[in-house]
Every structure is written in C-alpha cells, then in structure tokens.
Amino acid sequence: MMSIKPVILCGGSGTRLWPLSTPEAPKQFQTLVGNETMIQQTVRRVVSKDRDGPIFERLLVVGSGRHESLLAKQLPGADLILEPFGRNSAPAVAAACLAASENELLLIMPADHHIEKPEQFLRAVQIGQTAAEGGSIVTFGIKPTHAATGYGYIESDGDAENAAIGRVKRFVEKPPKKDAEVYLEKGNYSWNSGIFLFKVSVMLDALRNYLPDMLSKMQSMLPDNQDGRWELDPEIFRNVEDISIDYAVMERESNIMVVPVNMGWSDLGGYAALWDLLSDPSRTTVASGPVLVDDSVNVFARSDGPIVAASGLKDVSIIAKNNLIMVAPLSDPNAAKSLGKMVQSLGAAINISDESSRVVRDLLSVSFKKWVECAWDDQNGGFVECLFMNGQPDKTSDRRVRVQARQIFSFAESIRLGLIDSAKPMTLIEKGLDFLDTTCRNPEGGWHHRLSATGDAIDKTRDLYDHAFIILAGATAYAATHQERALRIAIESIDYIDANLKDRDGGGYVDSVTDQTVRRSNPHMHLLEAFLAMYQATQDKQYLDRATEIVLLFETRFFDSKSNILREYFDGNWAPADGAEGELFEPGHHYEWATLLAMYDEVAARDTRSWRTRLIRTADQYGRSSTTGFAHNSVLFDGTLLDSNCRIWHQLEMFRARLFHPDTDAPGATDRVLADLIEGYFKPAIEGTWIDEVDSEGTVLSDRVPASILYHLVTAFSPALRK
C-alpha cells in the first residue's frame, strides 16, 4: 500500500454556531466536543502511531491567511497553503494537488467534522485506497439516520449499508423532505461527507479537463521550494473561480467510487447537532460553564464568562460569550447564523454608552429637521452647497455634483434610520435623482464636476471622486426606496469609470479623463465605500469583489507599512507625488480608511485589523492637537504640521473609528470624543448646523456651514444609532 498525504481544508466559517464560532476564530479552532479543538481532533485521526491501518505522511493544511497564527499554534509543523480570502473547495483541492507530487495519494478532509468512531473511518480509508491507487476518485458516504434536507446525498449502485465499496451513480444537492424520505427508504443513498481520496495525477487531469483556467492560475501561485509554506497572491486569487469540488469535478466524473461507513459522523452544522452529541437520556439539558438551568427540557446552554440562569424553557440554545448572550430555537440551524449577521451589522454600536446614543439620535434628528427644509433650492433646482452661519441657505454659490450625490445619500439614510417622517426625505431623494439624471449629466458621458447656482455646467471634468459618490447615492437610495432608477444611475456610473478612468496596466483609476498624471487614494477610498453599499443593496458578489480590488490597492499602493502612513497623492505611475503632496497625510482619512476596512472585514471574512490599528495609532500620535485633542487637517511624514487647523469631518471620522475600534484607546474614549465634538463644533452653531473649522486652539474659523458635512454626520453617527 502507498502512503497517504492527509490534507485538511480549513476554510469553513461555522456561522450556524455563532457566537462560539466567529470569523476571527471559526468552529474548527474551538473546543466543542472533548478536550481538543475540532481541527486538532481531525489531525489526531491521521497521525496516531499506535494502531494498524493506512500510513500517513506529513500534514498539509489549506486555510485562511488571517488564521495563520491559530494554525501555527494548534498544528505546529504542518505544511500551510494560505488563502487571502475564501474561494470554495475546488481551488483549495487544486492547491493541495499542486503542492504534492503527481503519484501521491491525497486524503481531503474538512477541518470541522466530528467522527465518533475514528477506527471505522480508518478502515473505510483502507478499503478505498486500492480503488484510489487504481485511478478512481473515492468518496465516503454516511449511512443516513433520518431524512435530512441539509446534506448532499450520494446514490450508488449497491446497498449503502452493506456494500464495502460501490460505484457512484449521481450526487444530489440538499433535496426536499419528500425526496430525502424516498432516499432513506431505498437504501442505496448515503450522505456526502465531503471526504475524498485520490491520486494527485487523476485529480489534476480532471481539473485540466473541467477547469483549465482555474488550475493555471493556481499553478502560477504555487512555486516549488517554498519549504512547506505557500501564500497565495491576492491579485491572482481574486480572479480564480469560486466553485466547490463537488460541482467542478465530482458531479461530472464517471469513475467515482463511494465507501459507505458508519463512523458516528456529524458536520456540527448547528446547536442541535451539538445537543445530539452531548446529550443522553438521563439529562434534559446540556450545560457547560457557569450555567444554572432549572425545570427545562432540551436546552443547550454554555457560558464562557457570565453566570447564566434559566428556567421553564424548552428546545432552546443559550450561548454567553464576552459581553454577548445569544438565545435561539435549538431546532433552527439558521437562527444563530441570522442573529450573528444582525449583531455584526451593528458594528461598534455596542461600544458606546446609552446616553451618548441618545445624544447622537437627538443631534441627527434636529439636523435632518433643519436640512429637509433648507437643503433644496426650489428656484434653481439642486441642493445648495452651504448655509450661512444664521442658518439660511446660500443659493448663489456654485454647486459641486458630489454634494448633490452626498445629499441623496444622507436623506436616504435618514429614511433607513427612521429619524424623521420619511415623506420629505423621499421627496428630496426623488428631486435629487431627477437633478442628477438630467442637469448634472455630461452629454459626452458621465457627470459634470461643478455647476453654477442656476445649473449651468462651469466645470465639465469627469472626476473619479464625484462618480464614486454617485454610485454611493444610487446604491443607498435604492436600498432605502427600492427605486430602480437609483440603481440604474449607480450602475451607469460604474460602467463609466470602468470604460474611461480605469488604469488597466497600473491598477486602480485615474482622477479624471482630462488629467491622468495625478492619482489620489481618497477617491479610491470612496469607491470602496460605494462598492460595499452596492453589495449591501444587491447582494451581488461582483461588488464585494470590486471592494476587494480597492483593499488590495490600499495594501500594495496607498499604505506605507514602514511609516504606518497612508499616502494621499501619487504620480501617473503610482510613485509618491513630488514635494509636500507626496509626503503628507490627513488624519481624518486614516480614521476613515480604518472604519471602511472594518466594514469590509465584516462581509468579506478577512482580517485587516493590523492595518486598521496602525492607521489609527499614527493619526492619534502625530495628527492631533495637544491643546484640544482635535485632529489636524494635514501632517507631513516627519510629524511637521502642514495645516494645523481642524475641520469637523476629521473629528467625525475619529469618532466613528473609535466606535469600531474601542481597543485603540482607554475605556470611555468614544464618549469623550463625542462630548468634545459637541462642545467644539455644535454648541457654537445654531440648531441643526455646525462649525466647519476651528484652529488648533479651538477658535472658530468658519463663515459657512457646508452641506457636504451632512454626509459625514450620517456615516459617523448611524452605527451608534443601530444599538
């Protein structure tokens, strides 16, 4: 018999076991059954020396780069292939094949499955080994115990219970209840365990046949002689097809064998599965940690911290972890997953006091009541650029198109937040979309940059920054009002920048059609924001992929990891701009990038925390006034103040960054930043408005109230309202 190389696929997120399982530490790294983590138990099955059976080689793990420290800690000595983000099981299997020799046998195993009878598993592997050596792809089927609808099924040409090995006739993906009942009765169906055994050359031939482009991309990222560690290139990997090995190969190949095995298998797909494993007829509850459960039936309760006391419950799971308690029906595997998404969408709302949340709500409500009355120019059309300090609209100033888009966004958010009656914001959104769709358009494509107060185009530049905000406005208005026109405008803006502003050689985008020698990181940041909004509004994964492109630019172009500073200006070749422009940073953008990266992490299951923490700490260390604590407008790399004044938007972004990153400052810092904001920028202004700029001592410098700041007010305060 040949030896076998065990391969663990470690990309699962375990969302149905939230909050025990989180993106930072999914269920495979948790101790759920027994005294070892799930991935340690998986390894234990194939490394033990004190038993007969297959001979296993050195372990290979395919997992997420964000979990490298967990993998190194729990599996010291294993070879690692690190993915920058998830791309399903087919690329992972391809990577494992490319990291092995063509004559080797690979045993592919998920990291997070429980097997009660490992000796039966090893016996099944031994049975399948002969077929695998002969050129078959072997899978392992689990005898069904009930008509499950959450598992895939394998139909074989023999009796799934008694046949030692049989030929696969077909795979069935998660059937409806009535079909599952038929499969159970027929007896030649088994559950698909997701465990495979094959010769590398056989699987590579199949991948060349069905997914040649994917295999070629994977091959380019796995050079030889990496000494047991491969880190996949994110720019190549993001273009790799996102597909499971079942769809890519198993459902297409004819030479597939299945070994039925009764090994006490569970994929631990929810708390009911944990209950089944840990309960017994003598107990009506399963409890661990400081938990007291009385007069209850079928209760799974676990606490990793606070005392939990419950009584009179039935069919419930209770999980207490850190400052969070989750209660959900035990029988609903999707309940914990849904609650996890809801809590993650709150972001940092739980990191602000109740009193500060009330202050934020009152402040925003008052601001919107003011701006719905004065933001629109009924005489000339369009949103006004600013108010005078007495609160009256300035109807004579030029109008920037980005401000038109920002106001549409802001009023759409007011509807989603329920701050004021939606009738007036709805009217303003419709007027704003009309104005954006007509007067603001450039007849040669895209949108103008600046209009006169009467609507004449006085700057016809097609600007990347403006178009990013048009995307954001359209996506948010669509999410709030379901107007198809809003989504159409957003998509048209995306199509325009792709066709006219995209740098297909150097990556990213140029600032405008007319000047392609200057690049800025700031418009790209707002593109990240816009693509995240498009993904939230449509759930179309292409927009999350577009957001990933921007994050990769941040990591490779914008952020100087040696100085921990975000560069603002570049030349046409992405080199830092000459002079002060190439050596300055804006503290507010450090805070803003940190927040947007945190929002990206929540939906992309990546970990940019190191970047975020460094951005915030640099801004705190070099970018804040020693007198007021406010963030300055701009600072040079060496710490020299370039513009010591302090605009309000920098402070709003500092507040929002604190919401999402409370660990970067002492307890209560978020509340103190809010209190300083109110004292310095809101109390000196009339109700519903703000001071735009003060000097480093806190002296007011403004003579106008910019409308554009309403956007910053909404983005900074809305996470606190979702508490």
Q: Tell me what pLDDT residue 633 has.
A: 98
Q: Mean pLDDT of all residues in the chain? A: 90
Question: 439 in helix, strand or coil?
Answer: coil
> Half-sphere exposure of residue 590, counting CA atoms within 13 Å on the CB side?
31
Q: Decide: 469 and 383 in contact? Cβ < 8 Å.
A: no
**H helices of 114-210, where?**
118-133, 177-186, 200-210
* 512 beta partners: 463
Mean pLDDT of 65-79: 88
- pLDDT digit string (tens) for 494-512? 999 999 999 988 899 999 9
Residue 349's pLDDT band (boundaries 50, 70, 90)? very low
Neighbours of 57 (CB within 10 A): 17
Mean pLDDT of 252-274: 89
d(CA 32, CA 164): 32
Q: Which of 141, 119, 143, 137 is nearest to 54 (CA)?
A: 119
Q: Decide: 314 and 298 in contact? Cβ < 8 Å.
A: yes
- More confident of the two residues 276 and 565: 565
- More confident of the two residues 226 and 92: 92
Q: Decide: 171 and 246 in contact? Cβ < 8 Å.
A: yes
Q: Tell me what pLDDT residue 269 has.
A: 85
Question: 32 in helix, strand or coil?
Answer: coil
Hey, CA dihedral for 152, 156, 159, 160, is it positive or negative? Answer: negative
Q: Tell me what pLDDT residue 656 has.
A: 95
Residue 86's pLDDT band (boundaries 50, 70, 90)? confident
Residue 333's pLDDT band (boundaries 50, 70, 90)? confident
User: Angle at which helices 587-604 and 541-553 pack, to 10 degrees?
Assistant: 140
Q: Which of 276, 128, 289 is nearest to 193 (CA)?
A: 128
Q: Tell me what pLDDT residue 515 has.
A: 78
- pLDDT digit string (tens) for 554-611? 999 999 988 999 999 999 899 999 999 999 999 999 999 999 999 998 888 677 888 9
Phi, psi of 464 (to 5 degrees): -60, -45
> Half-sphere exposure of residue 325, counting CA atoms within 13 Å on the CB side?
12
Q: Decide: 552 and 238 in contact? Cβ < 8 Å.
A: yes
Hey, CA dihedral for 163, 264, 273, 139, is it positive or negative? Answer: negative
Phi, psi of 387 (to 5 degrees): -115, 155
d(CA 200, CA 193): 20
Q: Which of 196, 206, 195 is nearest to 132 (CA)?
A: 196
> Half-sphere exposure of residue 507, counting CA atoms within 13 Å on the CB side?
18
Q: Is the pLDDT of residue 170 over 90?
A: no
Which amino acid does the sequence have at 329?
P
Mean pLDDT of 76-99: 90
Q: Which two tokens stand for residue 711?
A: 């956007």
Q: How far is CA 19 from the centre of its chain?
A: 16
Contacts for 453-456: CB closer than 8 Å, 24+ residues apart = 453/377, 453/380, 453/395, 453/396, 453/397, 453/398, 453/399, 454/380, 455/380, 455/381, 455/382, 455/399
Radius of gyration of the chain (CA): 29
- % of the chain surpassing 90 pLDDT: 63
Least confident stretch, 25-29, 156-160, 197-201, 660-664: 156-160
Looking at residue 256, the DSSP 8-state letter turns out to be: E
Q: Decide: 201 and 134 in contact? Cβ < 8 Å.
A: no
- pLDDT digit string (tens) for 190-235? 898 999 999 999 999 999 999 999 999 999 998 765 678 898 987 7
Helix (H) or strand (E) segment spanning residue 83: strand 79-83
The tokens 């606490």 sit on which residue? 303
Judge if the upstream peptide bond of residue 118 is cis by omega within 30 degrees of 0.
Answer: no
Q: Which of 688, 648, 674, 689 is nearest to 420 (CA)?
A: 688
Q: Which two tokens stand for residue 367?
A: 């601001």
Mean pLDDT of 155-163: 67
Q: Which two tokens stand for residue 593?
A: 């990038």
Which amino acid does the sequence have at 663?
D
* Cβ partners under 8 Å of residue 93, min gap 6: 7, 9, 108, 196, 203, 207, 245
Q: Decide: 467 and 497 in contact? Cβ < 8 Å.
A: yes
Q: Tell me what pLDDT residue 35 has.
A: 87
Residue 722's pLDDT band (boundaries 50, 70, 90)? low
Q: Tell me what pLDDT residue 332 has.
A: 85
Q: Is the pLDDT of residue 101 over 80?
A: yes
Q: How far is CA 416 from the centre of its chain?
A: 21
Mean pLDDT of 359-380: 95
Look at strands 308-311 and 291-294 and give their pairing. Answer: parallel
Q: What is the pTM of this model?
A: 0.60
Q: Which two tokens stand for residue 293?
A: 């459960």
Q: How far is CA 239 from the centre of its chain?
A: 17
Q: Is the pLDDT of residue 468 over 50?
A: yes
- More confident of the two residues 601 and 553: 553
Q: Which of 421, 402, 315, 491 is nearest to 708 (CA)?
A: 402
Mean pLDDT of 137-146: 90
- pLDDT digit string (tens) for 397-419? 999 999 999 999 999 999 988 88
Least confident stretch, 105-114, 607-616, 705-714: 607-616
Mean pLDDT of 181-195: 87
The tokens 């209560």 sit on which residue? 668
Q: Which of 30, 46, 180, 707 is nearest to 405 (CA)?
A: 707
* 434 beta partners: none
Compute the C-alpha angle 121/127/128, nearest 5°: 90
Mean pLDDT of 616-635: 95
Which amino acid does the sequence have at 397?
S
- More confident of the two residues 222 and 369: 369
Q: Decide: 670 and 351 in contact? Cβ < 8 Å.
A: yes
Structural domains of the chain, ranges and CATH numbers in brackets: 4-269 (3.90.550.10), 273-345 (no CATH), 349-721 (1.50.10.10)
Q: Tell me what pLDDT residue 348 has.
A: 42
